[in-house]
Chains A and B, each alone.
Chain A
Amino acid sequence: MRKCYTRVRRARPLLGTLVEISLAGQAERELHEAANAAFAEIARIHELMSVHSMESDVYRMNNAPVGRAVLVDERTWQVLDLAAEISHASNGVFDVTVGAAMMARGDLPRMVNNLPGGNATYRNIELLSEFRVRLQCAMAIDLGGIAKGYAVDSAVRVLREGGVPEGCVNAGGDLRAFGDEALTVQVRDPLDPAIACAEVDLCDCALATSAGYASSKGYNTSGVVLDPRANTEVGTGCSASVRAASCAVADALAKCALILGEKSAPLLRRFQANGFLVHDKMPIVIDTVPVDARAGPAARDGITQVDVGFANRQSDIMFGKCTGALL
């Protein structure tokens, strides 16, 4: 017999966008309570990581005296840790210190006492024990390229812990589905947001899209994407979508894929992600099929071990099962 449950859909303005939570598989009241808890967690992450707020961890780090260790929330520390991992793996294509250039260009408000020069990189961020962070030189950290995805992951963790069997959390296009049922997601055409240019089926995983949307259509964008290596703006009219197990990874890798194009394939492969690009209405799947897929089990195992190890670690962070062991 087919069970008949109500689907609950809620939306609140958070993270600078509309965050939508869609849930099913329980009684309506339980689903609403779970959604409340998930929204509360997202709001907390928003407060901790907003570059706009003087109360945030990000503001405190950016404005602390250079070289002084700053105590941050465990969640902020985890985001910085994952960001560092992706920065290393991408050789700086992903770099949270891009905030200084964004502020200098006026893409972000100047929430620093003194606007730092552009010499700092992710290598100048030291992650210390007990959730302390030390910045080796003046910089402006902006977690805008990863915190939204992290907030989605955290909301999914809260929902699962609350016993919700299936649902989806969508923070302005960075989204994650959980549960058994596959969810079809449409991806907007970067040249025409009224048109969907792709459909992706998600089952227990995340999708994030990064784009320079054509301003002629007047769509609200979350701002520009800068290549942190040269602080140059990535052109409009292209988009990159990445599917990964966690939304934080998908979020950060989508920026990398937008900047690197098809050259992002090894990076995506390393994080067990898939991706595609859309440029001038032309879709291109990023070829993440392992080069050695046909090269025999030994070589394949070598790569798989690295990838699986990382993937496990991510899910541990996201589901809080053994976060203590990470420190």
Chain B
Amino acid sequence: MSSHDDWVRFVSIPVAAVAVAGQVQAAQYLTVQQAQKLMFGKSATFQRNDLVLDSKAMRAIREASGVRVERSKQPLWEVREGDQLNGYFIVDEVYGKHEYITYAVALGPDGRVRQIEILVYRESYGYEIRNPAWRAQFIGKKHGDPVTLDEDIKNISGATMSCRHISEGVKRLLATYEEMLHPG
């Protein structure tokens, strides 16, 4: 009967796993290169060709998607298999009240979503996430920096994280494709 009372320990500790300027629970899942390989295969070639959005494009994307466009530069790679265009690899970021997520979207050459992978997830309960300077400290750390973001990550049960912000981000990216890349 021992399993009946010693299976749970009641504690009161922050869920933060690492201390990066405030309470942060963070997980690095994939680097950009890993995600590219996983989503398009080893023989694909990637040419970085970031989209630069002027204010007119930003407005059009916002109107088409109903989602605010905050950045004028969208990291994007054209993906080729031999000399055939095989799609696009886009890295994007979204943040909610407590979570800040970097994710990658694979689009087919027709602009359809093929796959979504989370690259880095961070959550924090201060005011930090609303603060661009706070978010800026992570820039560069998604390219496989030896930052120990993925050490000692806790598995957490409890409040369900909504993926609403990712859904909105993908909607915005599809509108971006239509505005900037869709032929004709």
Task: Please list the residues of chain A having a beta carbon within 8 angstroms of any beta carbon in chain B.
Answer: 9-14, 16-18, 20, 22, 32, 36, 168, 170, 172-175, 183-190, 193-201, 207-209, 211, 213, 217-222, 239, 241, 243, 274, 276, 281, 283, 285, 288-289, 293
Binding stretch for chain A, among B2-10, B43-51, B52-60, B63-71: B2-10
Q: State in angstroms the CA–CA spacing of A11 and B156 once bound together.
A: 14
| Chain A residues with CB below 8 A from B72, complex form | none
| Chain A residues with CB below 8 A from B28, complex form | 9
Contact B159 A221 (CB under 8 A): yes
Contact A11 B29 (CB under 8 A): yes
Contact A12 B116 (CB under 8 A): yes
In the complex, per-residue mask of B116-144: 1 if CB is within 8 Å of any chain A CB, else 0: 11100100010000000000000000000
| Chain B residues with CB below 8 A from A285, complex form | 5, 8
Contact B159 A220 (CB under 8 A): yes
Query: Is B84 part of the binding interface, using a Cβ–Cβ cutoff of 8 Å?
Result: no
A-B contact pairs, 5 of them (CB 8 A): A11-B29, A168-B155, A189-B12, A193-B98, A220-B161
**Interface hits, B1-58 → A, CB 8 Å:** 1, 3-5, 7-16, 23, 27-30, 38
| Chain B residues with CB below 8 A from A184, complex form | 154-155
Contact B157 A188 (CB under 8 A): yes
Query: Is B158 part of the binding interface, using a Cβ–Cβ cutoff of 8 Å?
Result: yes
Query: Is B112 part of the binding interface, using a Cβ–Cβ cutoff of 8 Å?
Result: no
Contact A221 B116 (CB under 8 A): no
Contact A18 B158 (CB under 8 A): no
Q: State in angstroms the CA–CA spacing of A12 and B119 once bound together.
A: 9
Interface of B is mostly: mixed
Contact B157 A220 (CB under 8 A): no
Query: Is B166 part of the binding interface, using a Cβ–Cβ cutoff of 8 Å?
Result: yes
Q: Which residue of A lies closest to B10 (CB)?
A: A283
Contact B11 A198 (CB under 8 A): yes
Known: A10-B118, A200-B157. 11 other contacts (CB 8 A): A9-B28, A11-B27, A175-B155, A185-B154, A196-B11, A199-B8, A200-B7, A200-B8, A219-B98, A241-B8, A241-B157
Q: State in angstroms the CA–CA spacing of A296 and B143 once bound together.
A: 62
- A193/B162 contact (C-beta < 8 A), A11-B27, A13-B167, A198-B8 known: no
**Interface hits, B147-184 → A, CB 8 Å:** 150, 153-164, 166-167
Contact A170 B155 (CB under 8 A): yes
Q: State in angstroms the CA–CA spacing of A17 and B155 once bound together.
A: 15
- A18/B121 contact (C-beta < 8 A), A194-B14, A285-B5 known: yes
Contact A10 B30 (CB under 8 A): yes
Contact A13 B118 (CB under 8 A): yes
- Of the candidates B16, B29, B157, the one whose C-beta lies within 8 Å of that of A173 is B157
| Chain A residues with CB below 8 A from B117, complex form | 10-12
| Chain A residues with CB below 8 A from B160, complex form | 16-17, 172-173, 220-222
| Chain B residues with CB below 8 A from A170, complex form | 155-157
